[in-house]
């Protein structure tokens, strides 16, 4: 059986029906992954032998009618996520020797569900930027155009899934790090509500804004992964909500959805704006009630950058040689964090409540629980792009600036947010839309995202560019 464009849901069904074995599926995945690795460089570490043992065990379970919901399915996880006994550099040469003594809770749940982890995916040093390049692993490219960024920091995951090297990947999102690469690579990226998915044990930095979540080619696949990692023996609220929605999904017809093209301040290219308006028309045709509004707040970039990078420096400065051996971009970011005072950090943290209150008021005055915007205002840009260093009069030598305007608030408030493709822009690269909702509305967000996905009818495989690239240089 050839993988083709099969989804995770379909492959799990094939495994259960014994139409393919876990070992056969893994070997097909590895063969394709080798092509993808040469073309786009999305993998930090290949775990093929470890995966082969896991696949063999999965076949034993499947033969007995046992195994979890992901039994035998090849997947990837992010380089920053802990897997006991496997190197975890977090994209940095300074951490090449770090081997975790334990596995992150979400990753453990994936393996407990039978998932076969065959590789870890690339990220920038310490996951600090919205693109994926490091001195340790090089640059990861976008499968739609290798001259363009795949986004970041879960960029390797975005490129791998878009190119068909595994149907699922676990990403991490502290400032758009799932949603940026999902948007640029034309796949689905879901940032769950804060704490809906347990992370620890993990690196302590950005502990109040990061969520682990699925990156996939369909919303149904994202829901499948989320149903595994969100399971919690002590508090099953998110899982129970997901199960209830599986039986009675929200209807799009009659649903009121709040719409904003630009949040009142976000830069947005004309092709993004026009494509987004087309999606809004499709929603109206499907019977949704559209209301135009937004939280009436300025850009959250300063609040986000202050909270995130003061925290980054607070963690990094505890090391014996905190700046030794780091890349220039990382140093710039840490220097910015070091320049901040505790009062500035506290003010930024206090402002998070202002943002949360504004979103609560927006949902309440419109009697709606859904807010839809473009995901990003631009298509994937070239690897050589130079970032601006100012936001207004404030100097920030950090590339996560106004082009990520639509994404920060979900991290600062903890809201769930799902990004799905909405079409192609003027440069024939993916454009995406974001659906967000109040904290705890994860299942509802996935419901609306899946129905919107069906309306759009997106073909999420960059087949032409991928096939052309993969036939140029076959793996050695």
The token duo for 212 is 């682990």
- Catalytic-labelled residue, pool 153, 260, 307, 405: 153
* Orientation of helix 219-229 relative to helix 237-247, angle to 10°: 140
DSSP state of 125: G
Q: What is the spatial distance between Cα 15 and Cα 410, in angstroms, rounded to a whole number?
A: 36
Q: Determine whether 153 is an active site residue.
A: yes
User: Which alpha helices (DSSP H) does 203-269 contain, by range?
Assistant: 219-229, 237-247
Omega before 427 within 30 of 0, i.e. cis: no
Omega before 201 within 30 of 0, i.e. cis: yes
Q: How far is CA 30 from CA 70, 119, 369, in A?
A: 18, 9, 42
Residues recorded for the chain:
476
* Pairing outcome for strands 133-134 and 141-142: unpaired
Determine how many CB atoms are found less than 10 A away from the CB of residue 266.
Answer: 20
**Torsional sign, CA 229, 232, 237, 243:** positive
Q: Determine whether 469 is an active site residue.
A: no
- Catalytic-labelled residue, pool 78, 120, 191, 469: 78
The token duo for 285 is 């045709």
**CB neighbour list of residue 272: distance below 8 Å, 6 or more residues apart:** 374, 376, 377, 378, 379, 425, 431
- Catalytic-labelled residue, pool 44, 133, 141, 177: 177
* DSSP string of 226-281, one letter each residue: HHHHT--SS--HHHHHHHHHHHSPPPSTT-EEEE-SSTTT----HHHHHHHHHHHH
Residues serving a catalytic function are 78, 153, 177
């Amino acid at each position: 059986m050839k993988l083709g464009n099969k989804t995770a849901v379909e492959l799990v069904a094939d495994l259960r029906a014994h139409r393919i074995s876990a070992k056969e599926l893994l070997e097909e995945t590895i063969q394709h992954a080798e092509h993808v690795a040469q073309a786009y460089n999305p993998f930090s570490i290949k775990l093929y032998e470890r995966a082969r043992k896991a696949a063999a065990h999965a076949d034993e379970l499947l033969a007995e009618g046992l195994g979890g919901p992901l039994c035998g399915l090849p997947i990837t996880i992010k380089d920053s996520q802990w897997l006991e006994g496997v190197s975890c550099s977090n994209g940095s040469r300074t951490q090449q020797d770090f081997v975790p003594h334990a596995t992150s809770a979400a990753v453990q749940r994936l393996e407990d569900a039978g998932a076969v982890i065959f590789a870890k995916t690339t990220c920038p040093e310490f996951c600090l930027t919205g693109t994926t390049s490091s001195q340790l692993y090089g640059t990861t490219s976008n499968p739609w155009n290798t001259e363009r960024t795949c986004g970041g920091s879960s960029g390797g995951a975005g490129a791998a899934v878009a190119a068909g090297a595994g149907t699922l990947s676990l990403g991490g999102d502290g400032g758009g790090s799932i949603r940026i690469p999902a948007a640029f690579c034309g796949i689905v990226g879901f940032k769950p509500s804060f704490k809906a998915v347990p992370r620890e044990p993990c690196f302590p930095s950005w502990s109040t804004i990061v969520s682990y979540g699925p990156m996939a080619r369909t919303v149904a696949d994202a829901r499948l992964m989320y149903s595994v990692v969100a399971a919690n023996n002590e508090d099953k609220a998110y899982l129970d909500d997901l199960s209830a929605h599986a039986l009675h999904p929200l209807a799009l017809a009659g649903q009121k959805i709040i719409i904003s093209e630009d949040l009142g301040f976000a830069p947005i290219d004309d092709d993004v704006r026009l494509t987004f308006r087309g999606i809004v028309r499709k929603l109206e045709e499907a019977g949704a009630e559209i209301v135009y509004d937004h939280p009436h707040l300025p850009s959250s970039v300063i609040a986000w950058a202050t909270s995130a990078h003061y925290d980054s420096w607070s963690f990094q400065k505890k090391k014996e040689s905190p700046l030794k051996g780091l890349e220039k971009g990382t140093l710039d970011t840490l220097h910015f964090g070091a320049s901040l005072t505790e009062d500035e950090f506290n003010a930024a943290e206090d402002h998070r409540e202002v943002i949360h209150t504004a979103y609560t008021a927006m949902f309440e005055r419109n009697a709606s629980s859904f807010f839809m915007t473009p995901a990003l205002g631009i298509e994937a840009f070239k690897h050589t792009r130079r970032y601006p260093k100012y936001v207004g009069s404030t100097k920030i030598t950090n590339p996560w600036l106004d082009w990520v305007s639509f994404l920060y608030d979900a991290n600062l408030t903890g809201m769930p947010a799902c990004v799905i493709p909405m079409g192609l822009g003027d440069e024939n690269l993916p454009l995406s839309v974001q659906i967000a909702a109040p904290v705890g509305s994860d299942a509802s967000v996935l419901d609306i995202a899946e129905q919107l996905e069906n309306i759009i009818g997106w073909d999420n495989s960059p087949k032409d560019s991928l096939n052309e690239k993969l036939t140029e240089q076959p793996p050695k």
